[in-house]
Amino acid sequence: MTEIEGVATVTDADFEAVVRAPGLPVLVEFTADWCGPCRQLAPVLGAVARQEADRLRVVQIDVDANPATAAKYAVLSMPTLMVFRDGEPVKSMVGARPKRRLLQELDDVVGPLGV
C-alpha cells in the first residue's frame, strides 16, 4: 500500500475508533497494493488531506490485510472512497478521479472545499 503524506493508515482493529471519533468527517480510501488506480489516486488524496486538514480527515485501509472492514461495508472494487460523518457512511465513490472532481463530489457531504 502506498504511504501518502497526510493520510493515516487504519486497520480492522482501529477502524471503528478512528471513523467514529467525534469531529471532522472522514474520507476513507479502501485500497490494495495491486491496484493501479489506487496508486494514481495517492497524490490526489495527499493534496486533499493537506489542503482540507481543518475540514476533512483522510485515511486509507488495505483491503487485503483488513478484510473484515471491507466486507462490513461491501467494498468490492478498488479504490473505493467512502465518506463517514458521525461514524456513518454518507457517500461512496468508486474509482480514481482528479482532485477537482473529488473536491466537487465531496461538496454535498462536507460543504464546499477549495477547488
Tens-place pLDDT, residues 10-21: 999 999 999 988
- Percentage of the chain surpassing pLDDT 70? 97
- Is residue 97 assigned to a domain? yes
Report the pLDDT value the prediction gives residue 21, as an integer from 0 to 100.
85
pTM equals: 0.94
Answer yes or no: 27 catalytic. no
Domains of the chain: total: 1
- Over residues 83-110, the pLDDT tens digits come to 999 889 999 999 999 999 999 999 888 8
Containing structural domain, residue 24: 8-109
Residue of 18, 28, 38, 106 with catalytic role? 38
- Is residue 50 assigned to a domain? yes
- Over residues 36-53, the pLDDT tens digits come to 999 999 999 999 999 999
DSSP designation for 92? E
Answer yes or no: 38 catalytic. yes
Is cis: bond before 79, omega within 30 of 0? yes
Report the pLDDT value the prediction gives residue 7, as an integer from 0 to 100.
95
CATH number for the domain that contains residue 24 = 3.40.30.10
Residue of 35, 41, 61, 83 with catalytic role? 35
